[in-house]
Amino acid sequence: MRYHSTRSDTRGSDAPRVGLSAALAAGLAPDGGLYVPEALPRLTLTPGSTLASTAAALLAPFFAEDPLSEHLHDICHEALNIPAPLCSLSTPDDWVLELFHGPTAAFKDFGARFLAACLARLGGDARHILVATSGDTGAAVGAAFFGRPGFRVTILYPDGGVSPRQAHALGSFGGNVRALRVQGRFDDCQRLVKAALNDPALRELGLTSANSISLGRLLPQMAYWAHAALEHHAAGGERLNLVVPTGNLGNALAAILAREVGAPVGEVVLATNANRTLPDYFAGQEYTPRPSVPTVANAMDVGAPSNFERLAWLYRGRAGELPGAFRARAVEDREILDTVRRRFALGELHCPHTAAAVSVLEELRAGGASGDWAVAATAHPAKFEAVLEAVVGTVPVPPVLEEMLARPASAEALSAEYPAFAAWLRANA
């Protein structure tokens, strides 16, 4: 399998194509686009006995002809040994895919661990991974690369823009993982990372990224959707429809790709917070990226979803179909908190991101949606105790988070101006 940029003309002979290893090592394509496979395979899938074995079968065509393919089995078993149970909700035929049982209690662990397992097998020069985070990615990447020889991680997060427990987690690693609290928003963090990656003066620092645009995160996310849908289909013969809490569109895109390659996934509906770029687009407006607004579901505070470019690529040639191809709903903070409260009374506890999806599912059911539906639970509620405690009282903390919160944490302050970041990178090379 070869990969090319979303921005290259795929019919042109000059479109540079690279193997999986090169695409993983680079993160972003040289023209600023995102790497996509030159063709999507159609697979006849059966549920594996574990997520790791489903993943190894599903991803084999994506690893074909790359040196990493001989390690695919080990990569899947090392990175994806995280439970991802599909549990029933208290309302009939409604399910929740719990993706928060990894070391940092958010779904980002699947992608970060898989990317780390791949990059660790690539060899080559030392790498300095830059990661801009709106909350959960940074901790997942920090945990996945912590203590790995040849790697160093710098996390940039918006000061005051993540939950107190998320902030603690981001600063709790030490060693080869450092945290910078940026005096700005998530968009500023992303801008700083992009500027550093594109700065010729910093080329010798071996900088690379681990943001949600990385193929190494998208591929394993396809695997848990496929695994859940295959098991569900095997048990009851029903396709699984999905509501996905959405920010940069990485998780939802993975679900859509899983369906494209043959997993029994039905409709995929997007749930956002008050950042309405995608709901507005799928309601028929022009695609208009905009600055993000802060919400109680902060890991989805994204105004310019980076994976939209991959969705547009998937619908290339039938671009006219894209605006009508998906339903997307924005859920305001008040409704998110109200959903947390109402579902708590039913014996469920959801993080604010998951609650946005539950709210959308309730709306779909009220509108007559039939069949089996699952929401993704993207983070453990205990990461958002500051938001949730006012609504539901004390939130029990799982052991992984307890341990992380017990460690000391520190983060350096950084201005949102690029020269300050470039100077910091040089001083800390």
Task: Return residues touching ligand PLP (CB under 6 A).
Answer: 106, 108, 135-136, 212, 245-252, 299-300, 353, 378-379
User: Shortest distance, CB of residue 369 to ligand PLP, whole angstroms?
Assistant: 22
Q: Are 135 and 162 in contact (CB under 8 A)?
A: yes
3-state secondary structure at position 24 = helix
**How do beta strands 372-377 and 327-330 pair?**
unpaired
Angstrom distance (rounded) from CA 299 to CA 163: 9
Sign of the four-CA dihedral 34, 37, 39, 40: negative
Angstrom distance (rounded) from CA 150 to CA 79: 18
Q: Indicate the residue among 209 and 378 with the shorter CB distance to ligand PLP.
A: 378
Sequence length of the chain is 429
Q: Indicate the residue among 118 and 249 with the shorter CB distance to ligand PLP.
A: 249
User: Shortest distance, CB of residue 245 to ligand PLP, whole angstroms?
Assistant: 4
User: Shortest distance, CB of residue 137 to ligand PLP, whole angstroms?
Assistant: 6
Q: Indicate the residue among 68 and 374 with the shorter CB distance to ligand PLP.
A: 374
User: Shortest distance, CB of residue 247 to ligand PLP, whole angstroms?
Assistant: 3
Choose among 220, 221, 238, 219: nearest CA to 230: 238
Q: Indicate the residue among 202 and 300 with the shorter CB distance to ligand PLP.
A: 300
**How do beta strands 35-37 and 3-5 pair?**
antiparallel
User: Shortest distance, CB of residue 223 to ligand PLP, whole angstroms?
Assistant: 15
The tokens 């998320």 sit on which residue?
A: 166
Phi, psi of 53 (to 5 degrees): -75, -35
Q: Indicate the residue among 344 and 418 with the shorter CB distance to ligand PLP.
A: 344
Angstrom distance (rounded) from CA 121 to CA 74: 10
Q: Indicate the residue among 208 and 246 with the shorter CB distance to ligand PLP.
A: 246
User: Shortest distance, CB of residue 76 to ligand PLP, whole angstroms?
Assistant: 20
User: Shortest distance, CB of residue 108 to ligand PLP, whole angstroms?
Assistant: 6
Summary count for the chain: helices (H), strands (E): 17, 13
3-state secondary structure at position 163 = coil
Q: Indicate the residue among 21 and 251 with the shorter CB distance to ligand PLP.
A: 251
Q: Indicate the residue among 169 and 202 with the shorter CB distance to ligand PLP.
A: 169
Angstrom distance (rounded) from CA 120 to CA 114: 10
Q: Indicate the residue among 327 and 353 with the shorter CB distance to ligand PLP.
A: 353
Angstrom distance (rounded) from CA 228 to CA 320: 31
DSSP 181-221: EESS-HHHHHHHHHHHHT-GGGGGG-EEE-STT-HHHHHHH
User: Shortest distance, CB of residue 307 to ligand PLP, whole angstroms?
Assistant: 7
User: Shortest distance, CB of residue 43 to ligand PLP, whole angstroms?
Assistant: 23
Phi, psi of 270 (to 5 degrees): -95, 135
